[in-house]
Structure 1
């Protein structure tokens, strides 16, 4: 759980190329599960490109181990570990490639572990959604039914597609959006990390704008909320308050699943002149 922004020593800093973001992450076991099978990770680095210029990069990731399976918690943590390993080894290059390698590494490792003890790790799988924010682009890799929402100029959009039976049927125009919302296959995954030796993931790139607010969350959170509740929380001035509000809504409805949500707001995009940095300026209060 945490809220963060860039931390740079006071003094004159090099020109920053990229973004300044405020974020908050919350995870909760829920009210009926015996353990938390969700895992998440947020990190931020500022890399020096030249003596006078630096680049800012963020990564947000959420994995949701399949509920009811003994290996779900292990699978989600293995997936996040794979993301960390690829990110820490990243020394330049396309974010799309990093996400693809992290996804495939997670799938291979989880699948191989599941084969070592089928009785213990039967159907050991996880969902995984990764978002890398670099310069003015948000690159998204996605498998499963975690969701990435975006609030922009009062408009709420879902930037990922659920890999579920209901969602697939909706894509094929076999059912309506209203039917999909209450369909028994709403949470029946058709794609996951670790379920098969070969995995297909979705990848997309979005341009970010100052003022955008995003929510990356597991289905334990979004399935308990209405679009209006999500829209209202993403329009909060304070990221922490908005994120906490969503978790309170889910807990108030019994929270039958694990809950994980990461909310982040785009404060600044583009080159910023080298100015004295303080906590107030970094948090947009200077």
Structure 2
């Protein structure tokens, strides 16, 4: 798709409050799995607040299903359905409450379906990580072992904590970080969506800055990469090319699991003239 722009007279161009983001999302079945139990969703809304002001909001989400050939794929897609339903009633503000409701609804829906036919949907669960960008804040809802990385000023930070046996042992200082990286419980979940009638989700808020680059991904991607490889990709601003590069690296190493990665770069934060603008950025074409 070519890059197109729309120009309006300056006195009629609304101010845009929020963020402008460039993003790329890729999912792959992997090289050994018979189907892709990962699911992801990206959406962007510009909503008019007044005659002279509009707000910009984004949602990025990744779910990694588990619990059998059929159940995992159903669970991950049910989780995203709950997010979409909640998002369509959200008009900005209190993103933490919106995310909390979406995650709790996802948990209840998946748990009830799993209980309705335990033989067919045995241990049907999913991980789920949601990122909401609203105005100058980024809110994260997280259960499981998908990860959100942020690159800012040449520093990489992991903004989520794995809910796994190895990570829990590391938090309790029972093992070192080096031992955790090779621990047999590295992928053994201690929290999931749909595993129990009540779920404890991590919900955190972070301030955004222009120039930030993020990677939201399932464990099928990050487990095949080194932190230095992720750092190198996030230091570049071509989100499309770098996201593809990370997926190719994982595939070159055998990709035993499904792979999903969403990379996004914060171009603008705050109040800006919304037009002229590039549909290429709004549509996530890096």
Correspondence for 2:146: 146
2:8 is paired with a residue whose SS is coil
Q: Can you give the 5+ residue segments of structure 1 that lack an aligned partner in the other structure?
A: none
Per-residue deviation, residues 181-225 of structure 1 (Å, max 9, x unmatched): 000000000000000000000010000101000000000000000
1:272-283 equivalences in 2 (<5 Å): 272-273=272-273, 275-279=275-279
Q: How many angstroms does 1:275 deviate by?
A: 4.3
TM-score, length-scaled by structure 1: 0.93
Correspondence for 1:99: 99
- Residue 90 in structure 1 maps to residue 87 in structure 2: no
Per-residue deviation, residues 145-190 of structure 1 (Å, max 9, x unmatched): 0000000111111000000000000000000000000000000000
1:4-23 equivalences in 2 (<5 Å): 9-12=6-9, 13-23=13-23
Q: 1:279 to 1:101 in 2, by over 3 A?
A: closer
Q: How many angstroms does 1:66 deviate by?
A: 1.4
**Would the aligned equivalents of 1:126 and 1:192 in 2 still touch at CA under 8 Å?**
yes
Q: How many angstroms does 1:93 deviate by?
A: 3.9
**Would the aligned equivalents of 2:14 and 2:274 in 1 still touch at CA under 8 Å?**
yes
Correspondence for 1:62: 62
Separation of aligned partners in 1, 2:101 and 2:256: 33
**Would the aligned equivalents of 2:68 and 2:123 in 1 still touch at CA under 8 Å?**
no
- Residue 125 in structure 1 maps to residue 122 in structure 2: no
Separation of aligned partners in 2, 1:274 and 1:216: 27
Q: 1:269 to 1:185 in 2, by over 3 A?
A: same
Correspondence for 1:260: 260
Separation of aligned partners in 1, 2:252 and 2:187: 21
Correspondence for 1:44: 44
Correspondence for 2:182: 182
Correspondence for 2:173: 173
**Would the aligned equivalents of 2:19 and 2:56 in 1 still touch at CA under 8 Å?**
yes
Q: How many angstroms does 1:278 deviate by?
A: 4.5
Separation of aligned partners in 1, 2:280 and 2:124: 45
**Would the aligned equivalents of 1:10 and 1:278 in 2 still touch at CA under 8 Å?**
no
Correspondence for 1:157: 157
**Would the aligned equivalents of 2:93 and 2:134 in 1 still touch at CA under 8 Å?**
no
Q: 1:112 to 1:241 in 2, by over 3 A?
A: same
What root-mean-square deviation, in Å, do the aligned CA atoms of Structure 1 and Structure 2 show?
Answer: 1.9
Correspondence for 1:251: 251
Q: How many angstroms does 1:237 deviate by?
A: 2.8
Q: How many angstroms does 1:11 deviate by?
A: 1.7
Q: How many angstroms does 1:238 deviate by?
A: 1.0
2:183 is paired with a residue whose SS is coil
Separation of aligned partners in 2, 1:65 and 1:259: 12
Per-residue deviation, residues 84-127 of structure 1 (Å, max 9, x unmatched): 00001113441001100000000000000001110000000000
Correspondence for 2:80: 80
Q: How many angstroms does 1:15 deviate by?
A: 0.4
Separation of aligned partners in 2, 1:121 and 1:226: 34
2:277 is paired with a residue whose SS is coil
2:267 is paired with a residue whose SS is strand
2:271 is paired with a residue whose SS is coil
Correspondence for 2:270: 270
Correspondence for 1:136: 136
Separation of aligned partners in 1, 2:150 and 2:202: 17
Q: 1:142 to 1:40 in 2, by over 3 A?
A: same
Q: Can you give the 5+ residue segments of structure 2 that lack an aligned partner in the other structure?
A: none
Q: How many angstroms does 1:273 deviate by?
A: 3.1
**Would the aligned equivalents of 1:69 and 1:121 in 2 still touch at CA under 8 Å?**
no
